[in-house]
Structure 1
């Protein structure tokens, strides 16, 4: 079973802005990004998808739709694949968020939610529920999943049995690809490629 996680391309948002759950536009046309991704995936010898799955946010869904059209496979959009909801911090510069609130989040990393959005624990549970359901659908493999850096890191954390705090520090470029594989249900997931 192959799952190919693709981070959305660059967005038309200034650097340093918190935009997790917010719906923001891409910096360039999704068709161009989809074509570039398809060429890179072919070069990496990633098998073509049976399905393209996506976050419903524009920065993912438009690229996923173009990819599904190019590959002639179904597109499935799922709210579970959205980035973490940062509540009142959304669309705010990270530097403008009260330092004591950020420190409180760091002190209770899994459960703090001073912003009123999701806690890390809630976010991880949402993504874990999605991954558990996906893992039962072998007929969807290989699947391309166009989503967000946080979602990709949590999926990798869960699949590779790595603490989420550690995985959240792993670099994923815009349009970065993470390829995971599991040979059968009795085997653990393995990492084929990270951030290529």
Structure 2
């Protein structure tokens, strides 16, 4: 079984703005992005989607998923909720609050939104319910945070370290189940 995770395309938001669960628009047409991503998946020999597309309800993901094929929308695939920081420039957020968050990235919630632990529980709960026993390829259009949490969970890697792994807009991450474990086939394809 393969799990194919696709980060949504670039968004029409100023660089440096925190937009976790804010429903921001895509920077360009979803169909054009879908065409490019589909061609890239074919060139990388990514397995065809058999068990259906899954997506976050936020339009930056849902529009792409719809353009790629019918999608099952699940709120558990939404990005981390940054509470009072949503829509604010990172440079305008009190540095002491960001430092407090970084000091306990798993549990701190100085923004009033979700902690990484809460976010991880929500996302891995989706995986356990939807994918744990799947035998065919599952494709997901999601956010960078969702991709990183799922990769950390499946590879049994510390979440805080995976948060540092860069993933491009439209990046493709492919994992494959081998027996009882998972392996990373590609990152940022």
Under TM normalisation by the shorter chain, which class is it? over 0.9
- The CA deviation at 1:130 is 1.1
Count residues with an aligned counterpart: 188
Counterpart in the other structure of 1:27: 27
2:140 partner SS = strand
Gaps of 5+ in 2: none
* CA RMSD, Structure 1 to Structure 2 (Å): 1.0
Deviation at 1:137, TM superposition (A): 4.0
Flag structure 1 segments of 5+ consecutive residues without an equivalent: 69-73
Which runs of structure 1 show a deviation greater than 2 angstroms over 4 or more consecutive aligned residues?
Answer: 134-137
Alignment partners' CA distance in 2, 1:41 and 1:153: 19
> Aligned-pair distance for 1:128?
1.3
Task: Name 1:136's counterpart in structure 2.
Answer: 132
Which residue number corresponds to residue 71 of structure 1?
none
**Residues in 1 aligned to 2:46 and 2:102: alpha-carbon distance in whole angstroms:** 37
5 Å matches for 1:13-162?
Answer: 13-50=13-50, 51-68=52-69, 74-139=70-135, 141-162=136-157
Q: Distance in 1 between matches of 2:13 and 2:107?
A: 28
TM-score under structure 2 length normalisation: 0.96
- 2:131 and 2:138 in contact (8 A); partners too: no
2:184 corresponds to which residue?
191
Normalising by structure 1, report the TM-score: 0.93
